[in-house]
């Protein structure tokens, strides 16, 4: 790709809420890409992650995917684990104080997070750093110097702080340290580019660039990524809302969940989760608009691409073929897991024992909503004795071959 194509691909999926700011960031990026090409130097591109959870979903991988695009273009990638910033917790997307984590919790989460991050990044070409390396050495005098570049009013203009202030809810002083700590990360790393979501706009653009300039460094470029909608196609992907696509699943489940996303969200998924270039995405969107590409086929391509990223080409192909058999041709998948039901077990008992429902109340709802079928026939009474052997289907994608034991 030439410089313009590189810039277009690296900027795809970004959201700044301000066209002038977006144009400025793209212009700076193009300038540094051109300089890197002339000098042979690599851009230093970093993403900081606070390991406050180990249960990651597809939405968490959006900045990682952008990092991988820079990596594939030959730039130097730095994956920063926020072992110190995690002790506070980023208040950017919160309307209340985050609970404080212990150092032990952070370290355990960090190990799991890194394992999942390298499903996207090339591990051999990624520098991993822990910001406790330098933040633990910041003195109180240093902090006074850093903080002198900011005003309380700047922090109170942030929507989450402003809402809490207006409601009379507490805004704790230590929460304002977070942006300063993250800004110092960028300075220490001599970053050319920092990647983050829209909730990081203040941290990266306002705090990061301002502190780097104050400390005599060239301010980094903020690549601010849009937020991935969940499987409902509208609301931000979230485990608590149940609209997430987990990473710790399997290829068939991931493929099926992507296929369940409404057509309206396909553009976001193409720009935020795939390896496709800006020109490839533009071609697909043009084909969708003129009718030469059917939305179902486009979604199949997206689901295949996403599943291949995390599980490989062979598993993605198998998931696509199974989905076609089950949902487009009505067949039952091959190699069904086997569950041996005991005599006198009820439908409810089998659903729980076979791990097809998380609780009795959830199992009961599935039955009442017609979502439980044995050999194609709906089971209507959750308390009835399980009728006998056969293929048990729960919802759209879960199957088990039930055998009866004595």
Asked whether the CA dihedral 334, 340, 343, 345 is positive or negative, the reply is: negative
pLDDT at 10 (0 to 100): 95
pLDDT at 327 (0 to 100): 65
Q: Which CATH number belongs to the domain containing residue 289 in this structure?
A: 1.10.240.10
Query: Looking at the DSSP assignment, which residues form a beta bridge with residue 378?
Result: 373
Q: Would you say residue 245 has pLDDT above 60?
A: yes
pLDDT at 90 (0 to 100): 57
Q: Would you say residue 97 has pLDDT above 60?
A: no
pLDDT at 330 (0 to 100): 64
Which of residues 346 and 156 earns the better pLDDT score?
346
Q: Which CATH number belongs to the domain containing residue 162 in this structure?
A: 3.40.50.620
Which phi-psi region, left, alpha or beta, contains residue 141 (left: φ > 0; alpha: ψ -120 to 50)?
alpha
In a domain, 234, yes or no: no
Hunting for tokens 């071609």 — which residue is that? 283
Return the SS3 of 65: helix
279 and 358 inside one domain: no
Question: What's the mean pLDDT when you consider all of the chain?
Answer: 88
Burial of 249 (0-12, 13-18, 19+ CB in 10 A): middle
Q: Would you say residue 346 has pLDDT above 60?
A: yes
84 and 188 inside one domain: yes
In a domain, 378, yes or no: yes
| Winning range, highest mean pLDDT, from 51-55, 237-241, 347-351 | 347-351
Among 207, 225, 243, the domain boundary falls at: 225
270 and 386 inside one domain: no
313 and 369 inside one domain: no
CA quadruple 138, 142, 144, 145: dihedral, nearest 10: -140
- Up-side HSE of residue 15: CA atoms within 13 Å toward CB? 15
pLDDT at 82 (0 to 100): 86
Cα–Cα dist 370/368, whole Å:
6
Among 328, 355, 383, the domain boundary falls at: 328
User: Which stretches of 85-163 are assigned E, i.e. beta strand?
Assistant: 126-130
How do residues 294-303 score in pLDDT, each as one tens digit?
988 999 999 9
Cα–Cα dist 140/20, whole Å:
37
Pair 345, 385: CB distance under 8 Å: yes
Residue closest to 187 by CA, chosen among 218, 165, 152, 163: 218
Q: How many helices (H) and strands (E) does the chain have?
A: 18, 10
Determine what percent of the chain is predicted with pLDDT higher than 70: 93
Query: What is the helix (H) or strand (E) element at residue 278, kind and residue range?
Result: helix 278-290
Residues in Cβ contact with 110 at an 8 Å cutoff, skipping those fewer than 6 apart: 51, 81, 83, 130
Pair 188, 209: CB distance under 8 Å: no
The confidence band for 249, taking pLDDT boundaries of 50, 70 and 90, is confident
Pair 339, 403: CB distance under 8 Å: yes
In a domain, 207, yes or no: yes
In a domain, 311, yes or no: yes
Residues in Cβ contact with 389 at an 8 Å cutoff, skipping those fewer than 6 apart: 341, 402, 403, 404
Number of domains in the chain: 3
Determine what percent of the chain is predicted with pLDDT higher than 90: 50
The confidence band for 95, taking pLDDT boundaries of 50, 70 and 90, is very low
The confidence band for 159, taking pLDDT boundaries of 50, 70 and 90, is confident
How do residues 273-287 score in pLDDT, each as one tens digit?
999 988 999 999 999
What is the pLDDT averaged over residues 291-316? 93
Return the SS3 of 236: strand
63 and 140 inside one domain: yes
Lowest-pLDDT range, 93-107, 285-299, 378-392? 93-107
30 and 148 inside one domain: yes
Query: What is the helix (H) or strand (E) element at residue 145, kind and residue range?
Result: helix 140-147
Cα–Cα dist 217/219, whole Å:
6
202 and 315 inside one domain: no
Which of residues 119 and 190 earns the better pLDDT score?
190
Q: Would you say residue 268 has pLDDT above 90?
A: yes
163 and 288 inside one domain: no
pLDDT at 101 (0 to 100): 67
pLDDT at 324 (0 to 100): 84
The confidence band for 100, taking pLDDT boundaries of 50, 70 and 90, is low
Lowest-pLDDT range, 97-101, 105-109, 269-273? 97-101
Tokens of 349: 């008992």
- Where in the sequence is the domain holding 190, given as residue range(s)? 3-225
What is the pLDDT averaged over residues 106-134? 85
110 and 27 inside one domain: yes
The confidence band for 390, taking pLDDT boundaries of 50, 70 and 90, is confident
211 and 360 inside one domain: no
Q: Which CATH number belongs to the domain containing residue 369 in this structure?
A: 3.10.290.10
In a domain, 198, yes or no: yes
Among 286, 303, 328, the domain boundary falls at: 328
324 and 388 inside one domain: no
In a domain, 372, yes or no: yes
219 and 92 inside one domain: yes
Lowest-pLDDT range, 2-11, 150-159, 322-331? 322-331
In a domain, 242, yes or no: no
Tokens of 220: 């980094």
Hunting for tokens 């073929």 — which residue is that? 321
Which pTM does this prediction carry?
Answer: 0.74
Pair 194, 67: CB distance under 8 Å: no
Cα–Cα dist 199/168, whole Å:
22
In a domain, 130, yes or no: yes
What is the pLDDT averaged over residues 165-189? 90
Pair 229, 236: CB distance under 8 Å: yes
């Amino acid at each position: 790709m030439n410089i313009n194509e590189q810039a277009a691909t690296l900027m795809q999926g970004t959201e700044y809420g301000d066209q002038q700011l977006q144009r400025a960031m793209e212009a700076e990026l193009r300038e540094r890409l051109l300089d890197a090409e002339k000098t042979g130097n690599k851009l230093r591109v970093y993403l900081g992650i606070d390991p406050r959870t180990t249960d990651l979903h597809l939405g968490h991988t959006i900045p990682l995917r952008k990092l991988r695009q820079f990596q594939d273009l030959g730039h130097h990638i730095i994956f920063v684990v926020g072992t110190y910033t995690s002790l506070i917790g980023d208040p950017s997307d919160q309307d209340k104080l985050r609970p404080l984590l212990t150092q032990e919790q952070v370290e355990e989460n960090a190990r799991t997070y890194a394992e999942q991050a390298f499903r996207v990044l090339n591990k051999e070409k990624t520098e991993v750093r822990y910001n406790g390396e330098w933040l633990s050495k910041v003195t109180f005098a240093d902090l006074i110097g850093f903080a002198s570049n900011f005003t309380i009013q700047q922090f109170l203009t942030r929507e989450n702080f402003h809402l809490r202030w207006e409601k009379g809810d507490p805004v704790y002083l230590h929460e304002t340290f977070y942006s300063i700590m993250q800004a110092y990360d960028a300075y220490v790393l001599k970053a050319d580019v920092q990647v983050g979501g829209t909730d990081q706009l203040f941290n990266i653009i306002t705090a990061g660039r301002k502190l780097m300039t104050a400390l005599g460094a060239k301010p980094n470029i903020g690549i601010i990524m849009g937020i991935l909608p969940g499987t409902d196609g509208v609301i931000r992907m979230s485990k608590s809302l149940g609209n997430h696509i987990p990473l710790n699943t399997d290829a068939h489940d991931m493929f099926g969940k992507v296929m369940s996303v409404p057509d309206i969200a396909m553009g976001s998924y193409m720009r935020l989760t795939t390896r496709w270039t800006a020109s490839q995405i533009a071609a697909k969107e043009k084909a969708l608009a003129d009718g030469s590409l059917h939305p179902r086929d486009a979604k199949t391509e997206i689901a295949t691409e996403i599943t291949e990223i995390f599980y490989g080409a062979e598993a993605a192909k198998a998931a696509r073929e199974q989905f076609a058999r089950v949902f487009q041709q009505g067949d039952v998948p091959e190699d069904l897991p086997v569950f041996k039901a005991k005599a006198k077990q009820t439908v409810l008992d089998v659903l729980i024992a076979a791990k097809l429902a998380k609780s009795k109340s959830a199992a009961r709802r599935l039955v009442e909503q017609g979502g439980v079928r044995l050999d194609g026939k709906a089971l209507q009474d959750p308390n009835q004795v399980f009728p006998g052997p056969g293929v048990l289907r729960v919802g759209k994608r879960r199957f088990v071959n039930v055998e009866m034991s004595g």
